[in-house]
Amino acid sequence: MALARQDTNVKRRDASGPGQAERFPIVSMVLLALTFIGMMISIWMIFLYAPTDAIEGDAQRIFYFHLPSAIIGMLSLGIVALGGIVYLWKKDERWDWVARAAAELGTVFLTFALITGSIWGRTTWGTWWTWDARLTTTLILWFIYIGYLMLRSYMGRTPASARAGAVLAIIGLIDVPIIYESVNWWRTLHPQAVLPLGSSPQLPLEMLLTLVVAFITFTLLFSFLMVQLYQLEKMQTLAQQLRASVE
């Protein structure tokens, strides 16, 4: 019976396949073009338009890369959990592809944020790492992402794997604020001169504008990669089902 269901699944996707296959490249092309334009503008704005920070110097420009990738990397866990919840509710495989793609992208963006943040911290704080609440929470979130990807890769492409991933993402999403609060409390006992990570409120207009453009660019890049990864997940699942139906 399981085989029969797989067969119908494969056929159903074949039937709906061509229409989607024609639509998606257009979306991808538009996103790719927008991302490219955004990147060019961002790079120009970050290195030429934005004024050099009086205290931090040129190192401050890392921030335009660091902040958007960190925020998107964190929000990505929300997409993973959302995809997981809808998957558990509707039992629709496509939501699991969304969750999986978002988890992979979230890991990449968060890794980038950790590396750029570390480089920035070295030049500004004089240390690669400090156990500040925000940094620690980001690192633990990164571990949760890695755990998610490891779990999914060990369990393979099965409904059980999708359900386990959904549960992990939901628990992780609820846990992140609690982790932040606990690390924050823990750190308050060790007074250390940690600068607030957020920029000062009186950010010059040019800097704010650059940050907004960089943020939009990173969001476009995320969307573009998301569409690609979703398609990849879809094709991998299809390939596995075809292989299973042959064997």
Partner 1 sequence: MIFFEQVIAILWKDIRYELRSKQMWAGMGLFALLVLVIFNFAFDLRVDNRAAVAPGALWVSFVFASMLGLGRTIAAEREKGSMDRLLLCPVDRKAIYLAKLLGNMLFIGVVEIVALPIFAALFNVPLLLGPLLPIVLLGTLGIAAVGTLFSAMAAATRARELLLPILVFPLIVPIVIAAVRATGTLMVPVSNEPPWLGLMVAFDVIFLSISMLTFQYIVEE
Provide the Cα torsion 66, 68, 70, 75; round to 10°: 180
Tell me which of 185, 203, 212, 245 binds partner 1, using CB under 8 A: 185
CB of 20 to partner 1, least distance (A): 29
The identity of residue 203, as a single letter, is L
Tell me which of 188, 192, 200, 202 binds partner 1, using CB under 8 A: 188
Q: How far apart are CA 45 and CA 213, in angstroms?
A: 8
The identity of residue 174, as a single letter, is I
Q: Two tokens at 20?
A: 């989607």
Q: How far apart are CA 133 and CA 139, in angstroms?
A: 10
CB of 163 to partner 1, least distance (A): 4
Contact between 86 and partner 1 (CB under 8 A)? no
Contact between 55 and partner 1 (CB under 8 A)? no
Tell me which of 45, 79, 168, 213 binds partner 1, using CB under 8 A: 168
Tell me which of 186, 206, 239, 245 binds partner 1, using CB under 8 A: 186
Q: How far apart are CA 29 and CA 241, in angstroms?
A: 28
Tell me which of 21, 27, 29, 178 binds partner 1, using CB under 8 A: 178
Q: How far apart are CA 171 and CA 147, in angstroms?
A: 12
Contact between 164 and partner 1 (CB under 8 A)? yes
Secondary structure letter of residue 40 according to DSSP: H
Residues of this chain that interact with partner 1 (CB under 8 A) are 88, 140, 143-144, 146-147, 150-151, 154-155, 160, 163-164, 166-168, 170-172, 174-175, 178-179, 181-183, 185-186, 188-189
